[in-house]
């Protein structure tokens, strides 16, 4: 049985996986719920995704949740040696990859996802944005992006000079903040190396295809 990705292209976490699938030219079956969020709260869904979230991957009898784990698994199993994931035999490259993965979750996603919630998702649900909260979050994210600028002044990508799934993991929430919310966090004058990196990854055909189908 071919692997099936259960989710929806409007979900940021599903977009994270879809981008990697397109990078690999991997044509998995996609079971899209569209905007039927109630489906994620059914007993059948929760039996496979305990938190009632999207996406999850079904590969035969193996069920995997969490978008970053899914991308890593898919590249390792179906990527035919893709450089999106360093080989386990290269300990230094793997260590740099793990460090970059930690940076993305602790120093970017933590703030960008909350900004997206305030500026984009709240409006979708008819709620009011807390602008003071947004200002606070953007200030904290800007401080973290100074660290990104330092890293990217020394290497092309976050884990070195080869694109990995860690770079691509930034796309869904980076896009929500910079494009949907219109907050200029990738300003080239402030952080030219960060801007160069963002311009490159957000211009990839894989991401453009994902956004077009959202």
CATH superfamily of the domain spanning 4-78: Glutaredoxin (3.40.30.10)
As a whole number, mean pLDDT of residues 19-30 equals 96
pLDDT recorded at residue 62: 98
The pLDDT confidence band at residue 160, using thresholds 50, 70 and 90, is very high
pLDDT at 188: 95
pLDDT value of residue 214: 85
Residue 2 has pLDDT above 90, yes or no: no
Residue 152 has pLDDT above 80, yes or no: yes
**Domain edges within the chain:** 4-78, 91-204
pTM: 0.96
pLDDT digits (tens, 9 = 90+) for 90-148: 999 999 999 999 999 999 999 999 999 999 999 988 999 999 999 999 999 999 999 99
* Close Cβ partners of 72 (under 8 Å, ≥ 6 residues apart): 85, 165
Q: How many residues does the chain have?
A: 214
Q: Please state which CATH number belongs to domain 91-204.
A: 1.20.1050.10
Mean pLDDT, residues 195-211 taken together: 98
């Amino acid at each position: 049985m071919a692997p099936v990705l259960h989710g929806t292209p409007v979900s940021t976490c599903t977009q994270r996986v879809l981008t990697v699938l397109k990078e690999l030219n991997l044509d998995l079956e996609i079971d899209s719920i569209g905007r039927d969020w109630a489906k994620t709260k059914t007993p059948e869904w929760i039996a496979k995704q305990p938190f009632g979230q999207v996406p999850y991957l079904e590969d035969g009898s193996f069920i995997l949740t969490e978008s970053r784990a899914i991308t890593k698994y898919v590249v390792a199993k179906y990527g035919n040696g893709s450089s999106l994931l360093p080989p386990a035999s290269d300990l230094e490259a793997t260590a740099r990859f793990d460090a970059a993965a930690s940076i993305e979750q602790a120093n970017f996603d933590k703030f960008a996802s909350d900004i997206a919630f305030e500026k984009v998702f709240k409006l979708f649900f008819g709620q009011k944005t807390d602008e003071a909260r947004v200002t606070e979050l953007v200030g904290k994210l800007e401080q973290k992006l100074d660290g990104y600028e330092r890293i990217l002044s020394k290497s092309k990508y976050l884990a070195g000079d080869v694109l990995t799934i860690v770079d691509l993991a930034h796309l869904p929430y980076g896009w929500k903040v910079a494009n949907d919310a219109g907050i200029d966090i990738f300003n080239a004058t402030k952080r030219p190396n960060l801007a160069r990196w963002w311009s490159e990854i957000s211009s990839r055909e894989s991401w453009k295809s994902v956004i077009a189908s959202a």
